[in-house]
Every structure is written in structure tokens, then in C-alpha cells.
Structure 1
């Protein structure tokens, strides 16, 4: 644990908050269209209708805000899932929740020609819920009941199933393929503030409830029996936390598609920095998740410029080695 005292953690949190603001500003400034910090300042203080000012206000600012919100949501969802399942590999991506949300949106677009954001939102939540229930049920089969290994295998199976069904639907409808292919890779490009405004209330609810659950999650992490002996209503807490995961992961997928690895990487980095107290893990994870996705989005603009790669590809490049490390460390210890 790098930060041990309350003052150190408070100072670290303040630093991350300032750094997040700085990197979001950098996200607004840097990209294919050459702009400067002074141009960005003028775009918001003395708008003149120029092409650069329009890009800064209507393209890059929404992109920066959406990346920060999606990154924070996926990171907090990862913390909740790892605590609930006691599985170091748990995340919306590895447990098929992102894939379930993505499948529901693609199915609606291909089979029923649904195109409204509000419909996508509710369909994402529905798909995320179906995937979460499916993984839990599949991982509970057998004499040993629910175990981290069985949950991981069940999550991989559900993710593979839903991804295959998604690809099958896209093969049937080539028009829908053109519309959602970039979205399926995970991207915040081309999103508008109206898109975020429609999803943000659900994300905020998920963030607030997750923070309120922090002290109870500390008890839950000690084991169900210990938590029950201390008066915790374990079943109710798990249901509420699961609903938060569905809100956060479903909302994030509705905006940006199934962005992976944020939910795995960030909780482990946060615990290494501030320990296992969820009262610190939750807010730190939210900030670090936002920073990581905004930074990944900036890098995604420059790798093959003038073209861009989806930010989901960048998070996969960053997260895959970490996933392998956690998998070896987590399961070798058992």
C-alpha cells in the first residue's frame, strides 16, 4: 500500500482530481485537427464560429466527458464485481455483462430497426441483467456451489456465446454492421453531449449508491458468515450492488460500446495504492478509471493518424498483460 495515512490519501485524491481535469483538457486540445491551448480557451470564452472552435465545443468536449464517465463507471463496476464474487478477474468484460448489453442493442438494431438512444439504454440494462443472471446461475451449478474459478469459466462461456450471437446478427444485416461495428469495438468517437445527458442520471445513481455501500462492502469482503454475524443483510447488499453493476456497465455500453479491461485493471491498481478500504477504493477507482480511458482515447487518435483506432483496442493493449498477470497470481495462490 503506497498511501497509508488519511492525509496521504486525501492529498493523493486531490492530485488525481487535478490530473483528471488536466488530461480532459488535453483531450479537448489534441487530435487530428491542429489546435492549441489558447484556441481551446477562446472556444469557450470567445466563440467565433470557426471550424476549430466548433470541433472543440461539439466534438472533443463531449468525447472527453463521455470517456471520463465511462471509465469511472466501468472501474466502479469492476470493484463491485470483484468484491461480490471474491474473484480477482471479475469485471463487466470478463463476465459477459458487456457482451450481453452489446447483444441486446445489436439485436434491436438488426431485427427491429431500433435506433433511439433511450431504447438502447434500456436494452443495454436488460442485456447486462440477463448476462449477470446467466453467469451467476451457470457458476452455481455443481456440488461446490459458487467458486471464483467456476464464475470465471461461466463468464467466459457467456461472453463467447453472446459475442457469437452478435456476430451472427451482424452477418445477416450488413447495414447494421456498418452502423455498429466501430461501436462494438468500444469507442467514444462521434458521441454527442445529448448522448451522455440521456445516460448520465443512471450512472450518477450507480456512483452514489456504490459510495454509500462502501462500508458495508468492507464487511462483506470478510466473508458472508462474518458479515451476517455483524448484522449485515448480505442478500440485500448483494442485490443492490448487482443492480449498481447493471446500471454502470449497461449505461457505459449504451454510450461507448463494450470497452474492456478497465474493470479489471483499475481495482487492483487502486488497492495497491490505498489498501482494501472501499471508502477509499471506490472514489479512487472512479478517478483512475476516468484518467485511464481519457488517456487511452488520446493515444488512440495518434497511433495510425490520420485514422483512429477504437479506444477499446487501446484498453485491450494496456489491459491484456495485466489480465495475464492477475490470472497467474490469483489462481496460483489457490
Structure 2
């Protein structure tokens, strides 16, 4: 039986240690589940590292679109490293203990960098809008200073939205179970363990989700509405396909990121009769899938990156 060490503060108990359960109901399959998890993690690390290396070393890729792609790859690396090492330790070594402070740090980085990824996808939509709707002004609008400002604003928004959460959770009383039914410290999974009124935490979480997912998707949709209007105004079918073809990679990245998030949210809100391990597998899916798929999508769909990667491996084979 797992017993958490605690310190007292009046009549309330503040946990020093939480216990991550992994995937409840599938404990006997943890070793087997770790195989696809570890494979996806490895592909994500190698793919995003290779993507960053190719963009850094090839001067022809030092363009706004690829700078945004570098931001996306860096965020994906942090997201993967924030969750997967601890998850694999649970699967392989049953190392379920995590201190309160480590749990809050993991939660902060997990949610902050997910918010940053959403902001970068929005910035990439703006990049495609300028490239197609205002091609002659592309270099004058998307300057390096603007790209740096966008990156700083994306980081600032994420850190400002997430900064209150660790402090709000740090002082909640956890006088019941200290077992988090998850592979990592996700906000709502920790909130459920508190034995006091958590209404403010729930409302704050909903507000943050609205500000990030709904607003970012709205602005992305507006960008693509303008892009489609410009594309359909082009004279020939070939010009239309060529213009819209430059957006395919970004549209795939949007689908890969937002579809699992929305699906997981719907299941979480309305799927009360669905087994808990399904909820947790879906959550892991939306954290694992984008970091793995983004390098593959851009490697396959972006000619400059594909050629540079092929040249790199061809050179090393001799």
C-alpha cells in the first residue's frame, strides 16, 4: 500500500509526495505499452533534432517559415522531454513517486509549452496568409525582428496564463488520496485530489482553454478564409494548386495538434461511461502524436527540407 509523506499545517495536510499510477486498469500491460511509447518518443527526439540541425546549417532555409518551424520543433522537444522520461520510468521501473514541487513544475511546462505550440501554429497561419495574399510585401512584413517579437509574445502569453496554477495548487489541502490517476501531472488530475473547494481552479482552466484553443482556432480560420479567397481568384488551376500546396504541411500540423485535443476534451467532458484508461491514452496521444508527426509532415511535404535531409544522409553514406 502506498503511503504519502505529509506535513501538517493546522488541521490540513500538504503532501510532499504524489504517486503517478500510469494507466489505471492496464498495469499488467505497462511493459508492452512502453514499446510504442518509447518508439514514438525516439522518433520525436530524432525527427525534431534533425529538423533543427537542417534549418540551422542550411542558409537557404533561414526564412520566416522555417524560423517558425524551428520554434515548433523546439517546443515539441520540450513537450516530449517533460512527460515521456517519467512515463517510461513508471512503465519500466514502477518509479511512481513524484514530489509536489516536481509535479507542479512538470504541469507548468506541459501546459505552458502546449499553449506556445498553439501560438506558433497561429503565427504560421499568418505567415501563409502574407505569403499568398501579399507576396510582394512578404519580406518587409515578416522581418526577423517581428519573428523574434512573435516568439517572445507566444512565450509571454503561455507563462502569464500558466504562472498562477502552481501557486493555486501549492496551497490546496490534499487530505485524501495522493494517487494521481495519470502518467504525468496534468492540471485537472491534480485538482481532483484536493479536498477543498476547487471551483476557481476549474473556472480558470476553462478560461485558459477558451483563450487558447477557441481564439487561436478562430484567427487561424480567418487567415485561411482570406487565403482561400485569394487562391480562388487566381486565373489558372495550376496557380491555385501551387499556392494552396504551400499550406498543406501547416494544415496537417494544425489537424495533428488540435484534433486530438478537441477529441480528448469531448471525451473528458461527456464520456462519463468510458473507461478511465481510454481518457488517459487519449491524453497521452495528443501529447505524443504532434511531436512525432510534425517533423515527418514537414520532411515529406517541404521540398527544401526533404532535399537537404536526403543530401545529408547521402553524404554520410560515402
TM-score when normalising by structure 1: 0.32
**Which of the two has higher C-alpha Rg?**
2
Structure with greater strand share of residues: 2
